[in-house]
Amino acid sequence: MLLSKYNPHYYQRLFKEMEDEIEEMYHLSTSTVTDSDIGELMIMSYSVEDIAIMIVERKETLEKLKSSATKHCINLQIALTRVPGKYQVALHAAQSKMNIQAINKNQLNAICKALWAVVDNEGDNIPADREDSQMMQAI
């Protein structure tokens, strides 16, 4: 989860991909010629109404994702104020490289514990069995 749900670098890439996809949808009304499997030429295009619906739905999905991402990133920032600066640097390196191996287990444990304390509003009272299962999800 630290490489996706709580990773601002991941969200930046995802937002860019979705925005590019939406931009490409505007060109779907243009007729295109494709070659079928049996050698026939086919002219294809989408109706403007269908494209408009797809674009609106995709934009709504993007806005919901941005809202959720903002919440997750804020929670991560709050959690990072509770760990030493070198842990923050290690996490940033791991997230930017999308490689959890760039951070050692003790740092990862401390960050996950702080994050779950923020998310659950339970402070340090996270049950050990829950902490272990969430730690495995983070990896």
Of residues 99 and 62, more confidently modeled: 62
What is the predicted pLDDT for the residue at 116?
A: 94
What is the predicted pLDDT for the residue at 63?
A: 97
What is the predicted pLDDT for the residue at 115?
A: 94
Closest CA to 5 of 130, 128, 112: 112
pLDDT (tens digit, 9 = 90+) per residue, 93-104? 999 988 888 889
Q: H helices of the chain, where?
A: 8-25, 48-80, 85-97, 105-120, 128-138
State the pTM of this model. Answer: 0.72
The confidence band for 119, taking pLDDT boundaries of 50, 70 and 90, is very high
Closest CA to 90 of 74, 70, 112: 112
Report, as an integer, the average pLDDT of 119-134.
Answer: 52
Sequence ranges of the domains in the chain = 8-138
